[in-house]
A and B are shown apart, each in its own frame.
Chain A
Amino acid sequence: MGLPMTNATPENTALVGHAGPASARDVDTVPFVELADGRVQGVVSASSDVERVYCAFLEAGSGAHYSSTNNNRPDAGTEKRMRWLLEEAVKQYGAERVARYLEVPGDPANFKDAYAILGALLRRGPRKAEPAGVVFSRFLNYLRFVELPSAGGPVPEMAWFVGP
């Protein structure tokens, strides 16, 4: 018998500590946000018209971004939409992870909120018109999860997953 290995680190443990409850996401404003395809992308509601919804993205590295309706009409409130998208991305994934994913210049740990990330990235980035369908189909594919059937019985593999 030996002493316990007291130097438990994220490198040598099966579970890595999480930050505790994430702050509540505002799904009314941003029903969907993800880090995928080298972008933060998602679906963002209009502030005035309850029937209007935009698809928006911000590209890692370049800061290229766009927001448009499902008919690919450009969004007059793109700046606002990008801010909401990033605010919700930060709520869901944490500022450090979003900054790292977006390859914002500087130490990702120094970025504390969506404003800091946007300030460092969005201004240098051009508008880049792309069909809204790309993001929209990601959203529909995402919603598919709630309809998937699952088998009963033990799922020992889930012992590795505790949140966040």
Chain B
Amino acid sequence: MPIQDLLAVPDGVRKAASLIAGLDRCFVVGFGRLGPEQTQALQALGRVCAGTPLNGPVGAAVEALGRNEFVERHFAAVAAARAALQGAQYDALRKQAAEALGRPAADGAAEADGEAAAPEPVKVWQESTRHWLMEIAIAGFGQVDAQALAPFSATLEQLQAEPLTTRLAALLTGFRQELLTAMPVAALPSVPVFRWADLWTRAMLAALRPPPATAGEKVSATLAPLGIDLRHHGYFVSAVVYALAEGAAPRVVRVTLSSYKVDVVGGAEIWQCFDGPAAALLKAVANQQALAAEDATLLPTGDLLLGDRAKAKGSRPLLETAKKSLGAGAATPTPGVAAPDRHPVQLAEPVYLEGYTADKAGETLDLGGASLRVATERISSASELRPEDVAGSSALLGLLRFDGGAWAVQPLAVARGKETQFTGSGAGGPPKLGKKQKPTLAVLRERASRLLRKKG
């Protein structure tokens, strides 16, 4: 793989990054108190939208915000413009990665996903969400206080209880919690400006459109697991399983398993959040076995939704599958994301690497003259794989990532001698507990019951 091709970043991507950085200062300062620099950044955003469908709404937003006219549609326009820039970055970077990997270019326009009709209450909660987001943007991340965040709890609880809005609720739960524990923001060593503006933007977009539909074609497939990308905040976990769907036209698919949780459930216990077909798939990954999935639904993005029937069958070592389907010269199709979701953070091209030299900390790979950073910040604290495992490894399956203006690789599985170390190796069953140890959730429920009993 000509990894050197990834060392340079396309000019357009850099220019867009600089526009976004300017805009993001508005979110820190607050749209209620923009200075000349922030006004200029907004105007630059308006100019870059000229000649696009966003020209009208963004132009109007720039003018209105400039005279302190705070109406929801103007904030929606700013969110759309910011997301459009990042969508363009995603497209350019995905093309760059495909060329560097010698893979067929991804389909030009990513297919838009369908939309489910939103019931009336959902529309009300979405409106309340947009209003809350607008208040945060007017105040600015630097000034927002707990009083401004608190009234949103009631709406958030409704969104959490409605499965149609899982995506929005999972995002808002994490974002709100992060803001709350960052209080007082003035005392933070550094404000994660870009990250918070990202979370704000994605929340605004998700609160503007009906929940995405998950419609696709019915398929039955044998899945050979590749690895797991584990994502979580305190109250929600997603295990994103990458697997090769075997057959005449093999392709890499992605199965997302998700669950709400409480923050103290982490480490080896995190895998206990899943049951049903999700647990069967995790067990197959842990045991490095294939899974026969029937009545599954394949979405246009390459995402697969498991049906009710899934059965383990036959051994499939992760790294063997990876070498065969993702090694040099392989042209196996890989998943993308739906058009509205495009953002550099969603770049996750699965790659199989070997013949590299890792540094002692497992933070950089030397691939014959070119070095690639290991995205250690992407390795969950609950993952069985630690950065140190990369240090002594001879091959790895990872996801090509882009953040902070550069490419990096997030390892999912590494070969260490004859052993394979990977995220999810402990997902096959409950973790071993000491004699006096009880599962965390059992302890919490028992303690709550003591309080309910009105003793004391």
Contacts and interface: CB of A to CB of B under 8 A. Distances in A.
A associates with B: yes
Interface of A: 1-18, 20-22, 24-25, 27-28, 31-32, 35-38, 43, 45, 51-53, 55, 69-71, 73, 92-93, 97, 100-101, 103, 108-109, 136, 139-140, 142-143, 145-146, 148-164
Interface stretch (B29-37, B217-225, B339-347): B339-347
Nearest to A3: B8
Interface residues of B, number: 95
Contacts of A20: 381
Contacts of B404: 5, 8-9, 12-13
15 contacts: A3-B8, A8-B403, A8-B405, A14-B344, A15-B378, A20-B381, A31-B448, A36-B180, A101-B183, A103-B187, A109-B189, A145-B262, A146-B265, A153-B303, A155-B170
A8 B406 contact: yes
Nearest to B444: A31
B267 interface: yes
Nearest to B86: A14
Given A27-B443, A27-B444, A145 B451 contact: no
Nearest to A97: B181
A150 B8 contact: no
Interface stretch (B10-18, B318-326, B389-397): B10-18
Given A31-B444, A148-B160, A151-B164, A5 B337 contact: no
A109 B450 CA distance: 37
B9 A156 contact: no
A137 B420 CA distance: 45
B263 to A, nearest CB: 7
B376 interface: yes
A148 B451 contact: no
Interface of B: 7-11, 14, 17, 21, 146, 160-161, 163-164, 166-168, 170-171, 174, 180-181, 183-184, 187-195, 198-199, 202, 206, 212, 214, 230-233, 235-236, 238, 254, 256, 258-267, 299, 301, 303, 305-306, 337-338, 341, 343-346, 348, 376-382, 403-407, 440-441, 443-445, 447-448, 450-451, 453-456
A10 B190 contact: yes
Contacts of A73: 456
Given A5-B17, A5-B405, A153-B303, A108 B187 contact: yes
Contacts of B202: 157, 160
Contacts of B341: 156
Given A5-B14, A70-B455, A150-B163, 9 more contacts: A5-B406, A14-B345, A24-B267, A51-B450, A97-B181, A142-B262, A154-B299, A160-B198, A162-B378
Nearest to B178: A161
A132 B230 CA distance: 37
Given A24-B267, A71-B456, A162 B379 contact: yes
Contacts of B305: 152-153
B392 to A, nearest CB: 18
A4 B378 contact: no
B10 A143 contact: no
Task: With a 10 A CB-CB cut-off, give which of B8, B146, B202, B263 has the most chain A CB atoms.
Answer: B263
A3 B256 CA distance: 35
